[in-house]
Amino acid sequence: ELREELTNSGSHFCSQTDTEVIPHLIDQELAAGADFLSAFNAAIKRLQGAYALGVICSDEPGQLLAARSGSPLVIGVGRNEYFLASDAAAIIAHTPDMIFLEEGDRARITLEGVTIWDATGSEVERPVKTSSLVEQSLDKGGYRHYMLKEIYQQPEAIIDTLEGRLGHEQVLEGAFGPQAAAILDQVDSVQIIACGTSSHAGQVARYWIESIAGVPCQVEIASEFRYRDTVLSANTLLVTISQSGETADTLEGLREAKRRGVKHALAICNVPESSLVRESDLVLMTHAGPEIGVASTKAFTTQLVALMLLCIVIARRHGLTAEREKRLVEELRALPEVVTRVLELDSEIESLASDFRDKHHALFLGRGMQYPVAQEGALKLKEISYIHAEAYPAGELKHGPLALVDEQMPVIAVAPNDHLLEKLKSNIHEVQARGGRMLVFADQQVQIDDADIRLVQVPVSLNYLAPVVYTIPLQLLSYHVAVIKGTDVDQPRNLAKSVTVE
């Protein structure tokens, strides 16, 4: 509507982007005699939707005007200098001191200082915070790509996420905040919303929460949840998962749930200053450190660790015995060492990547808790190697996907030594019978006697935390395939690290 109005009034557009509407609106106000700040404010009042703006005017060069709605915006405060960015990581090399603008804020930045107005137009003070980011954590550290560095950082990231959250034999509830006990005592169901990789973490958590805690759990893509008439009980705990804490659909899902009467929300996030953290009642931070590669790795595994901690404190209220909690805590403590051992498979997995050099499609199979892991493996492969990859519950093969299998279709299966192993073996043989090329990641105890199957034996897995363990080789496989394909591993085409638009 604005574009049509401006065109009819004589404005000439050079592109098809919505962004270009904004300078034309400002210019229209300037032409009517307004000063820069007044013109900016008048233009902002006419905008709908999400935006994060930084605007300068050649006629008044001594100021930078900023505004945010639905998208993050941070002002870096240096010595006689200021910076404007959508993410702290973009400016940490210049200053650790930052002002995080709130929803609806507008700001005027000059060399004399920063003036901020809230959504009502009232002048407000926003605190200058020192970011927890460390500049040195933003380099590659000798690795070829950020993604590979971040894959190898996972044992340390898991240790950091568990730090201070485990007692001798139990999870410490204080990690969830002072209100946690009162809120968790009321929880009778869980609704998880997230996007992309984070939604796969949520799918794993559903298995945990329902099997360990015996509490109903639903998981939904945030962009779908927002527009569906979801039925939520008064005591549903809404769990949002986002690496950046600025994912637009997840944030709007949280806000929509609050409008529908959800009383309590918990955020699992990696950025303490983010919008998601500020708008949630409870927060469990994943101390993964900065994740630069677009394809999420250590953020995913630490999200799973955080979700297991949440599962345990909920289950404690629904019959979890002290002995079973002790075993789960022992698994959590053992996890970093197990992940370290899995990383030793890197060279073996790299040698398998050449099989994908000329491939354009791939299938991933998993059962039970490993189905979301298969989904995550398929997402990683398509994100960074541009191979079309899909994941299916292995039992669904005969209901359609088997028609795709031939000698040109690599099929990757995740096969831990659990109660579903024999059924998965049957699915593997179905693929073999159709000439499919099988690559199987399995426990060292698993024997699959077929010379045509490429078998990678993963160090003895854990029980409930097996999804974390089996994620690692799929990350390595995707990475090495992308390197062979020659794609931009850290910045794949058409994708962004923090999806701040709907």
Burial 103-131 (b: 16+ CB within 10 A, else e): bebbbbbeeeebebbeeeeeeeebeebeb
What is the predicted pLDDT for the residue at 268? 97
- pLDDT at res. 134: 65
Go through 298-331 and write b for each residue having 16 or more CB atoms within 10 A of its CB, e for each that does not.
bbbbbbbbbbbbbbbbbbbeeebeeeebeebbeb
- Which H or E element spans position 239? strand 236-242
What pLDDT is stored for residue 391 in this prediction? 95
Q: How many CA atoms lie within 13 A of 230 on its CB side?
A: 29
pLDDT computed for residue 437 by the predictor: 83
Dihedral sign for Cα 351, 356, 357, 358, please: positive
Report the distance separating Cα 297 and Cα 268, nearest Å.
15
Assigned CATH for 345-494: 3.40.50.10490
CATH of 145-320, one of 3.90.1150.10, 3.40.50.10490, 3.40.50.170, 3.40.980.10: 3.40.50.10490
CB atoms within 10 A of CB 78: 12
Render each residue's pLDDT in the chain as its tens digit; 502 residues: 777 777 777 777 887 778 888 898 898 889 899 999 999 999 999 888 888 999 999 988 889 999 998 788 999 999 989 999 988 878 888 999 999 999 899 999 998 999 999 999 999 999 999 887 765 566 788 899 999 999 999 999 999 999 999 998 999 998 888 889 999 999 999 999 999 999 999 999 999 999 999 999 999 999 999 888 888 888 999 999 999 998 989 999 999 999 988 999 999 999 887 889 989 999 999 999 888 899 999 999 999 999 999 999 999 999 999 999 999 999 999 999 999 999 999 999 999 999 999 999 999 999 899 999 999 999 999 999 999 999 998 888 788 877 788 888 899 999 888 787 778 888 887 877 777 788 989 887 777 767 678 889 998 778 999 999 999 999 999 999 999 999 999 998 888 766 655 5
Per-residue pLDDT, 497: 66
pLDDT at residue 500, rounded to an integer: 58
Pairwise CA distance, residues 490 & 89, whole Å:
15
Distance CA 371, CA 392 (A): 7
Q: Among 3.40.50.300, 3.30.1180.20, 3.60.20.10, 3.50.30.40, what is the CATH number of 1-130? A: 3.60.20.10
Compute the C-alpha angle 54/58/64, nearest 5°: 30
Q: Are strands 51-55 and 97-100 parallel, antiparallel or unpaired?
A: unpaired
Backbone angles phi, psi at 41, to 5 degrees: -65, -40
Q: Given this model, what pLDDT does residue 502 score? A: 58
SS3 28: helix
User: Could you give the 3-state DSSP secondary structure of residue 267?
Assistant: strand
Map out the domains of the chain as residue ranges: 1-130, 145-320, 345-494
Q: Tell me what pLDDT residue 89 has.
A: 78
Asked, colleague to colleague, whether 145-320 and 345-494 share their fold, the answer is yes
What's residue 451's pLDDT? 67
What was the pLDDT predicted at 97? 93
Question: Can you read off the two tokens belonging to residue 434?
Answer: 């159709």
**Side chain identity at 285, as an amino acid letter?**
M
